[in-house]
């Protein structure tokens, strides 16, 4: 889905989740993005070790995760990474922090990392920030860049969808409006994203940076940006990421009419699939608000939908917002772990989806795996109460996060063959980073995430992007690492560390914040 404003306002096309700016709000981001699950683990299981590469920055304090949110590929199978990082140049809008591109008010640029070399991909002309948020197998990166212009109504810098290709920076333009964002690029070079047009719209998705005009999903191909239309309403957004490589195949979400519903104040929104000129309404699970997250090469689409009991739940934060999978005209409710909420984040080409779901009475949220329509609870690290799964590769390796019961401790984790591993225990003890989030894993088993250097308490004020590379035989960088599998918490064990009422309060707050990704917010809450 879509949710990119200047980074400090709204974060990500992939998941529409707000960016968290401290370990506390990062926990909320996890909480904010999903609820997860638990398989059984075998103690004493050996696991391979990893070489930790701190990708660093472009001269500033911080390097970031995907500007388009969790659920988007910024690490390809060749081990090439694209994202963005701070330069040493203060943002010229630092005197008005609400207008800064990043929370720390330094300019950032998109980067490309390959074989140990970090390359600044630059920004459109002027003193501007940029960010890459998607990569294909050819190493092409897409994302966004400021262009030096400002939206008169709000003062926000304008944003343009951009492509970095073979050393060239290309402004993809707009559909006639004041801004655009690129979410994903496939191996054929087709780019999907969103753009404003010039038609006035009271329901505008990105009014803060695009102005109060219609937002449309686009497909850019061979220099031409095509408006994909809508399901009958004013706006549509594209969903990017995961493993969709089919040409002319775009999942997304669209208003179906112009009439606001009493439950949401917005028109009905349905997920869609646009396939080479034909837009299909995927329907909902009974509610009036549903969204697509991503698709795979098999034509499967995952997303979220409100149920009939609370028809606007995925927008309002009420109970009854469930993950779904759509395939060949049939939408299936993927269910929960006994609670009222679930969300998918990644779908691989084997049809396996990962994300999060709440437990009975919505007391906890746990990482989950959906395989052949069956939900499995992936659990947490021992002593933790919450977790979320963020990505899965073709081999079934899953990465994500595990959270302590008070959210004071967050650790990047790997689930593999029924075991959960704290990734901090699979790298050398003298490593330079505490590994906090893991959000991409390629088919070589390389893991991309972010961590905190010593003394850094907020990933958005000093966090670094890292790459974990599985150790080879005799790899000197991996000496001294020993680890065995960690037992996962079951829901009843986790609940014993947290009162039922407190657990429900935490999950309710998290659920409500997750729902805010559809409200066109101005990320006020992320500057703690």
Is the pTM higher than 0.85? The answer reads: yes
pLDDT tens per residue across span 287-334: 999 999 999 999 999 999 999 999 999 999 999 999 999 999 999 999
CATH classification (class only), 23-519: mainly beta
Residue 489 reports pLDDT greater than 50: yes
- More confident of the two residues 191 and 22: 191
For the chain, what is the mean pLDDT?
Answer: 86
pLDDT tens per residue across span 253-267: 999 999 999 999 999
What value, to the nearest 5°, has the Cα angle with vertex 271 and ends 269 and 276?
130
Q: Which range scores top for mean pLDDT: 257-261, 474-478, 521-525?
A: 257-261
Residue extents of the structural domains in the chain: 23-519
As a whole number, mean pLDDT of residues 463-468 equals 98
Q: Is the dihedral of CA 67, 71, 76, 79 positive or negative?
A: positive
DSSP-assigned letter for residue 285: B
pLDDT tens per residue across span 240-293: 778 888 899 999 999 999 999 999 999 999 999 999 999 999 999 999 999 999
- Asked if 447 and 55 touch (Cβ cutoff 8 Å), the reply is no
- Asked if 478 and 428 touch (Cβ cutoff 8 Å), the reply is yes
Nearest to 121 by CA among 58, 75, 180, 79: 58
Instruction: Tell me the DSSP string of 436-492.
Output: EEEEEE-TT--EEEEEE-TT---GGGT-EEEEEEEPPTT-GGGTT---B-BPPBPHH
Burial of 457 (0-12, 13-18, 19+ CB in 10 A): exposed
Local confidence band at 48 (pLDDT 50, 70, 90 cut-offs): confident
């Amino acid at each position: 889905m879509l949710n990119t404003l200047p980074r400090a306002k709204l974060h990500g096309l992939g998941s529409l989740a707000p960016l968290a700016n401290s370990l506390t709000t990062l926990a909320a981001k996890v909480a904010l993005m999903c609820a997860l699950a638990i398989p059984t683990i075998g103690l004493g299981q050996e696991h391979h070790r990893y070489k930790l590469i701190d990708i660093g920055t472009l001269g500033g304090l911080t390097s970031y995760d995907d500007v388009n949110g969790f659920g988007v590929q910024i690490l390809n199978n060749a081990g090439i990474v694209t994202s963005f990082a701070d330069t040493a140049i203060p943002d010229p809008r630092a005197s008005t922090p609400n207008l800064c591109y990043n929370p720390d008010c330094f300019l950032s640029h998109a980067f490309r990392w390959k074989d140990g070399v970090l390359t600044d991909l630059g920004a459109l002309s002027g003193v501007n920030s940029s960010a890459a948020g998607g990569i294909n197998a050819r190493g092409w990166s897409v994302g966004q860049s400021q262009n030096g212009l400002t939206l008169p109504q709000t003062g926000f810098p304008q944003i343009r969808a951009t492509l970095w290709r073979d050393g060239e920076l290309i402004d993809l333009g707009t559909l006639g409006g004041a801004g655009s964002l690129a979410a994903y690029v496939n191996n054929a070079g087709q780019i999907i994203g969103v753009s404003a047009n010039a038609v006035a719209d009271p329901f505008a998705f990105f009014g803060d940076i695009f102005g109060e005009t219609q937002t449309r999903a686009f497909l850019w191909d061979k220099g031409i940006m095509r408006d994909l239309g809508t399901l009958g309403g004013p706006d549509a957004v594209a969903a990017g990421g995961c493993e969709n490589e089919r040409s002319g195949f775009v999942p997304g979400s669209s208003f179906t009419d112009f009439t606001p519903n009493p439950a949401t104040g917005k028109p009905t929104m349905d997920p869609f699939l646009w396939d080479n000129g034909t837009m299909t309404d995927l329907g909902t699970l009974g509610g009036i608000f549903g969204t697509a997250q991503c698709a795979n090469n098999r034509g499967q689409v995952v997303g979220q939908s409100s149920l009939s009991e609370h028809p606007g739940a995925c927008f309002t934060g009420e109970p009854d917002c469930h993950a779904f999978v759509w395939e060949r005209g049939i939408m299936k409710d993927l269910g929960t772990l006994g609670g009222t909420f679930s969300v998918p984040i990644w779908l691989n080409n084997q049809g396996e989806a990962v994300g999060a779901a709440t437990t009975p009475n919505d007391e906890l949220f746990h990482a989950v795996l959906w395989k052949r329509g069956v939900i499995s609870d992936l659990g947490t690290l021992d002593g933790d109460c919450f977790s979320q799964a963020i990505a899965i590769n073709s081999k079934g390796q899953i990465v994500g996060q595990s959270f302590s019961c008070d959210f004071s401790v967050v650790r990047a984790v790997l689930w593999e063959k029924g075991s959960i591993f704290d990734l901090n225990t699979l790298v050398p003890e003298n490593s330079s980073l505490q590994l906090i989030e893991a959000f991409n894993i390629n088919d070589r088993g390389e893991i991309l995430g972010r961590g905190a250097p010593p003394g850094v308490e907020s990933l958005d004020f000093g966090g670094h992007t890292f790459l974990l590379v599985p150790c080879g035989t005799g790899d000197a960088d991996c000496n001294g690492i020993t680890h065995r599998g960690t037992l996962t918490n079951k829901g009843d064990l986790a609940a014993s560390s947290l009162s039922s009422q407190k657990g429900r309060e935490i999950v309710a707050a998290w659920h409500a914040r997750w729902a805010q990704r559809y409200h066109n917010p101005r990320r006020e809450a992320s500057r703690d």
